[in-house]
């Protein structure tokens, strides 16, 4: 488990503040000088960068650099340095693609934009960054989000998909609606047989699904099934958080989502209350593997998430004009 994920777990235990709250707290509490950027070659000219926050994918070549997500603003210089130390190109980061709007994936937008990178994301990413609103699972996890500054907003947005043609690769960002949020994109690097799943697929256990920002377990399952159907068996998978993965890992994650959703749906059909579901520990068969002690999202929080998602209780939504 990466250092960034362990820090997320600690924050989750201390406070229900999540995602943007973590970004704000991290700005105050983290000694950024101690955060190291780990670079792993994934395939060809595609690399994975780990630091604090969401995993970064980078296409590095003579045409320049494209990165997927950019963690937190204080790490931008370290990320730039790590890319330069690959000594593959002296060209800058030309494009940053955001997989979704959460602060641990978009926190570096301002410094990268100021350095000349073009920010790209799905339409709803810009809308949510611009307006702010409420993030959370519709229950115990809730965080008010302030509007981002203008320099953090993607310049190029798309409804369904967009392709960046760089370094001999057709880098395709494809929108999968209503999974982790309503602005999720999965990023395909077909020539190099790599995919970045964003937070629709994570390795820290039960996932955080931002129901208040248009996410749903149904959408997350749909995203995983449709994405895996498009991918070769030996594809290398970069998760939103956690270790480099493969399709077996994604399928195990999807299976867990489907099974736990079915259990909660049955309880809803049997007219059980949320408190009854928690008291009966209906997710106990999955707890040991997916929510060990001090898990980021424990079993009770995931019951809340599934209940709110399946029953249509979305919490507070930001209104998009």
Q: Which CATH number do you get for residue 228?
A: 3.60.15.10
Please, are residues 318 and 134 in contact by the beta-carbon 8 Å criterion? Answer: yes
264: in domain: yes
319: in domain: no
60: in domain: yes
Distance CA 33, CA 66 (A): 25
Distance CA 88, CA 41 (A): 12
Q: For the residues 16-32, what does the mean pLDDT come to?
A: 55
Q: What angle do CA 38, 42, 43 make, to 5 degrees?
A: 150
Q: For the residues 212-219, what does the mean pLDDT come to?
A: 98
pLDDT tens profile 35-57: 999 999 999 999 999 999 999 99
DSSP symbol at 61: E
Assess whether pLDDT exceeds 50 at residue 153: yes
Predicted pLDDT of residue 103 = 96
Mark residue 55 as left, alpha or beta (left: phi above 0; alpha: psi -120 to 50; beta: remaining): beta
Entry pTM: 0.91
Predicted pLDDT of residue 293 = 84
316: in domain: no
Distance CA 117, CA 109 (A): 9
pLDDT tens profile 49-80: 999 999 999 999 999 999 999 999 999 999 99
234: in domain: yes
Predicted pLDDT of residue 199 = 98
Distance CA 180, CA 182 (A): 7
Assess whether pLDDT exceeds 50 at residue 107: yes
Please, are residues 138 and 305 in contact by the beta-carbon 8 Å criterion? Answer: yes
Tokens, residue 9 = 């777990």
Partners of 96 in beta bridges: 67, 119
Q: What angle do CA 6, 8, 14 make, to 5 degrees?
A: 110
180: in domain: yes
Average pLDDT, the chain: 91
Number of domains composing the chain? 1
Assess whether pLDDT exceeds 60 at residue 20: no
Assess whether pLDDT exceeds 80 at residue 29: no
pLDDT tens profile 154-189: 999 999 999 999 999 999 999 999 999 999 999 999
Measure the CA dihedral 288/289/293/297, to 10°: -120
Owning domain of residue 126: 3-311
User: Which contacts qualify for 1-7: CB closer than 8 Å, 24 or more apart?
Assistant: 1/203, 1/204, 1/242, 1/243, 2/38, 2/50, 2/241, 2/242, 2/243, 3/35, 3/52, 4/50, 4/51, 4/52, 4/53, 4/104, 4/241, 5/203, 5/204, 5/241, 5/242, 5/296, 7/52
Q: For the residues 187-200, what does the mean pLDDT come to?
A: 98
Predicted pLDDT of residue 28 = 56
320: in domain: no
pLDDT tens profile 242-257: 999 999 999 999 999 9
pLDDT band at 314 (very low <50, low <70, confident <90, very high): low
258: in domain: yes
| Residue of higher predicted confidence among 7 and 256 | 256
């Amino acid at each position: 488990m990466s250092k960034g994920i362990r820090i997320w777990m600690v924050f989750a235990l201390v406070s229900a503040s999540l995602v943007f709250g973590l970004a704000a707290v991290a700005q105050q509490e983290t000694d950024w000088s101690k955060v190291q950027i780990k670079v792993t070659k994934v395939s060809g000219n595609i690399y994975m960068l780990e630091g604090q926050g969401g995993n970064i994918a980078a296409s590095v070549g003579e045409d320049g650099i494209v990165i997927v997500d950019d963690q937190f603003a204080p790490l931008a210089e370290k990320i730039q340095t790590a890319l330069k130390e690959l000594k593959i190109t002296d060209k800058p980061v030309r494009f940053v693609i955001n997989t979704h709007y959460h602060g641990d994936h978009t926190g570096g937008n301002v410094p990268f934009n100021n350095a000349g990178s073009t920010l790209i994301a799905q339409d709803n990413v810009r809308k949510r960054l611009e307006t702010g609103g409420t993030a959370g699972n519709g229950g115990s996890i809730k965080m008010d989000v302030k509007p981002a500054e203008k320099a953090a907003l993607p310049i190029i947005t798309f409804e369904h998909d967009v392709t960046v043609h760089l370094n001999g690769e057709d880098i395709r960002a494809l929108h999968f609606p209503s999974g982790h949020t309503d602005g999720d994109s999965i990023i395909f690097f077909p020539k190099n047989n790599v995919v970045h799943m964003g937070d629709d697929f994570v390795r820290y256990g039960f996932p955080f699904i931002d129901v208040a920002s248009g996410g749903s377990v149904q959408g997350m399952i749909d995203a995983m099934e449709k994405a895996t159907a498009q991918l070769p068996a030996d594809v290398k998978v970069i998760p939103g958080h956690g270790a480099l993965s493969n399709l077996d890992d994604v399928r195990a994650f999807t299976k867990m989502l489907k099974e736990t959703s079915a259990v909660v749906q049955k309880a809803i059909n049997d007219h059980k209350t949320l408190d009854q579901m928690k008291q009966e520990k209906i997710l106990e068969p999955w707890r040991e593997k997916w929510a060990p002690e001090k898990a980021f999202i424990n079993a009770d929080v995931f019951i809340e998430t599934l209940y709110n998602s399946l029953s249509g209780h979305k919490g507070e939504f930001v209104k998009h004009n």
